[in-house]
Amino acid sequence: MSELELYADGRLDDLAPEARRHLLERAPEDAPGLSRQVTELMAEVRAEGDAALRRMAERFDGVTLESIEVPRDRWAAARDRLDPDVRAALERAADNIRRFHEAQIPEDVTVEVEPGVRITRRWTALERVGVYAPGGRAAYPSSVLMGVVPAAAAGVDEVVVCSPPVPGEGPSDGVETGAGGVPGDAVLAACAIGGADRLFALGGAGAVAALAFGTESVPAVDAVVGPGNRWVTEAKRQVAGRLLIDSPAGPSEVLVLADDGTDPELAAHELLAQAEHDPEAACVLVSTDAHVLETARTALVRLLEEAPRAEVARTALAAHGAFLLAGDRDQALAFTEAWAPEHLSVLTRTAEDDARRIRTAGTTFVGPWASVAFGDYLTGANHVLPTAGRARSFSGLSTHHFLRSFTVQEIDEEGAASMAEDAARLARAEGLPAHGQAALARASTNPSTLRRP
């Protein structure tokens, strides 16, 4: 067996400041000029519309688009070509996602804050949203479902999907990629199963620009969600002031929290499952027990020897992997909160209590039966989650991303009379006399007779 190369390996107390900073501040560095290049690409789409999108498909995807939009009958055909077992699993996933996200829709709230003053907070679905579905190496039908199904559950009028076109290839794991010039069969089938309304063969920053600004073929949307590469993430960042986006999502990551009650084999499986995603994935095992760390290391080395994506996983572990020994439970929990993982796997004896104490995670899996893989595919929770420590500020994708709220204020004669004088005083203090006049007018038995503040 080969040795396991990790970025950091040892006691938390001995972790050098630069190593700690590398582990905590793990957002990938931007390629030189990325922001400027994305700005230029988006400007092309805004100025030239479909012509720019076709040019980008040839430049970046090597595809000449017959049509930017993919007809619905091609989705259905792709769904029908699926291996029946794969299709059944996707349908099961879609049902669970729908069930969980429908339950998240908030109720309108009405409060009578004082006699005669009733305030209501109302929720309404967005009219049209865009879901970005990665293609190429990261073409995941499960990610399509995670964007499309919650949007439909929220009541969005039109759910638009963009995914890069790919050249035709042979079947793989029961899912064919289909003909060239359109997204692969996995994406097409997921759009049909999830209930999307429209699908466009577009990828990268150009797709985000098309969704944000609209073109001759692509309608402008009110929100753009879904994972993507650095180009997609930067494009979403640049349009964030124009429309709603979800959290910035980068390479996958997991932190496994362990102690002397942990099964090291399970810990190794969870680390490998995320490490195989991407060479930049971040995978950390924190334990209060040195024996668990050593046994998990042995198990992970063995699993890597047999893993089809071992090269990807080894690269990720060497760049962002860590096995860290905590002095006690409090230190382990404190580091976990500081690391703010996308996925947190709690395999300790006191898993339920430990999970409650961690407030900064995209999603938490509690106990030895709760594999992150279940959440990636089937539980119904969303797997589009904040990474790189952004769980300290952002939440994972949910029904709430497809809703907006507004307030309705009902004030009767009693309420107006009660508030008029104080409103006028505050208006006078702020130097806005017309505000005060508008308030006092409601307190008069004859609204046409204004009382000056």
Is 271 found in the same domain as 198? no
Q: Which domain holds residue 161?
A: 49-246+400-404
Is 213 found in the same domain as 147? yes
In this prediction, residue 169 has a pLDDT band, given cuts at 50, 70 and 90, of very low
Q: Is 39 inside a domain boundary? A: no
> pLDDT > 70: what percent of the chain?
93
46 — phi, psi (to 5°)? -65, -35
Residues 212 and 136: their CA atoms lie apart, in Å, by 23
Is 268 found in the same domain as 230? no
Task: Output the pLDDT for position 26.
Answer: 83
Is 345 found in the same domain as 283? yes
Q: Which residues pair with 258 in a beta bridge?
A: 287
Is 90 found in the same domain as 230? yes
Q: How far is CA 392 from CA 244, 259, 356, in A?
A: 19, 24, 15
Is 205 found in the same domain as 152? yes
Task: Output the pLDDT for position 137.
Answer: 56
Q: Is 348 inside a domain boundary? A: yes
For the chain, the C-alpha Rg in angstroms (whole number) is 26
Is the pLDDT at 171 greater than 90? The verdict is no
| Residue pair 344/336 in contact by the 8 Å Cβ criterion | yes
Give 353-389 pLDDT, tens digit per residue: 999 999 999 999 999 999 999 999 999 999 999 999 9
Is 361 found in the same domain as 277? yes
Is 335 found in the same domain as 447? no
Q: Which residues are catalytically annotated?
A: 342-343
Is 362 found in the same domain as 419? no
In this prediction, residue 273 has a pLDDT band, given cuts at 50, 70 and 90, of very high
Is the pLDDT at 450 greater than 70? The verdict is no
Q: Is 161 inside a domain boundary? A: yes
Q: Is 382 inside a domain boundary? A: no
* Residue 301 burial (C-beta neighbours within 10 Å; 0-12, 13-18, 19+): middle
Q: Is 43 inside a domain boundary? A: no
The CB density around residue 170, as the number of other CB atoms within 10 Å, is 6
Query: Is 149 or 139 the better-scoring residue by pLDDT?
Result: 149
Residues 366 and 397: their CA atoms lie apart, in Å, by 20
Is 258 found in the same domain as 214? no
Q: Is 134 inside a domain boundary? A: yes
| Residue pair 121/372 in contact by the 8 Å Cβ criterion | no
Instruction: Calculate the average pLDDT of the chain.
Output: 92
Query: Is 303 or 180 the better-scoring residue by pLDDT?
Result: 303
Whichever domain contains 317, its CATH number is 3.40.50.1980
Q: Is 34 inside a domain boundary? A: no
Q: What is the pTM of this model?
A: 0.90
Q: Is 116 inside a domain boundary? A: yes
| Residue pair 223/314 in contact by the 8 Å Cβ criterion | no
Q: Could you give the number of structural domains in the chain? A: 3
Give 417-442 pLDDT, tens digit per residue: 999 999 999 999 999 999 999 999 99
Residues 183 and 201: their CA atoms lie apart, in Å, by 6
| Residue pair 423/435 in contact by the 8 Å Cβ criterion | yes
Is the pLDDT at 179 greater than 80? The verdict is no
Is 322 found in the same domain as 210? no
Give 96-125 pLDDT, tens digit per residue: 999 999 999 999 999 999 999 999 999 999
Is 324 found in the same domain as 212? no
